[in-house]
Amino acid sequence: EQDLKAAFAAKVPAMTADIKEIKEKFGDQVLGTCTVTQAYGGMRSVKAMTYETSLLDSEEGIRFRGYTIPECQELLPRAPGGLEPLPEALFWLLLTGDIPTTAQIESLQQDLAARSKLPAGVTDVLDATPAGLHPMSQLTTGLLALQQDSLMAREYAKGTTKNLYWEHTLEDALNLIARMPEVAARVYRKTFKGGKYIPSKAGELDLSANYAHMMGFDSPSFADLMRLYLCIHSDHEGGNVSAHTVRLVGSALSDAYYSVAAGMCGLAGPLHGLANQEVLNWLIGMRKALGDLPMNEENLTKICWDTLNSGKVIPGFGHAVLRKTDPRYMCQREFALKHLPDDEMFKLVSLLYEVVPKVLTEQGKVKNPYPNVDAHSGVLLQYYGLTEQSYYTVLFGVSRAMGTCASLVWDRALMLPLERPKSVTTGWIKNHFANK
Ligand code: FCX
d(CA 97, CA 8): 9
| 343 in catalytic set | no
Q: Is residue 75 part of a domain?
A: no
Q: Is residue 126 part of a domain?
A: yes
d(CA 375, CA 351): 12
CATH number, domain containing residue 209: 1.10.580.10
Note the pLDDT of residue 327: 97
CA nearest 246: which of 260, 236, 233? 260
pLDDT digits (tens, 9 = 90+) for 405-422: 999 999 999 999 999 999
Is 279 in contact with 375 (CB distance < 8 Å)? yes
Is 393 in contact with 140 (CB distance < 8 Å)? no
Expressed in angstroms and rounded, the spacing between residue 279 Cα and the centre of ligand 1 is 13
Q: Is residue 66 part of a domain?
A: no
Q: Is residue 131 part of a domain?
A: yes
Q: Is residue 288 part of a domain?
A: no
Is 234 in contact with 399 (CB distance < 8 Å)? yes
Res 1 pLDDT > 80: no
Which protein residue has the closest C-alpha to ligand 1 atom 49? 372
Asked whether 247 lines ligand 1 (CB < 6 A), one says no
User: Ligand 1 pocket: which of 271, 280, 303 to mutate (most atoms <8 Å of CB)?
Assistant: 271
Count up the domains in the chain and report the number: 1
Note the pLDDT of residue 415: 97
pLDDT digits (tens, 9 = 90+) for 291-334: 999 999 999 999 999 999 999 999 999 999 999 999 999 999 99
Asked whether 315 lines ligand 1 (CB < 6 A), one says yes
| 319 in catalytic set | yes
Domain range spanning residue 131?
104-219+240-272
Q: Is residue 74 part of a domain?
A: no
d(CA 425, CA 139): 36
Q: Is residue 343 part of a domain?
A: no
| 376 in catalytic set | no
Q: Which residues, in sequence order, are bridge partners of residue 62?
A: 56
Note the pLDDT of residue 436: 78
For residue 109, the number of C-alpha atoms closer than 13 Å in the C-beta half-sphere is: 25
Q: Is residue 13 part of a domain?
A: no
Is 125 in contact with 141 (CB distance < 8 Å)? yes
Q: Residue 279 CA: which ligand 1 atom is closest? A: 44
Which protein residue has the closest C-alpha to ligand 1 atom 29? 320
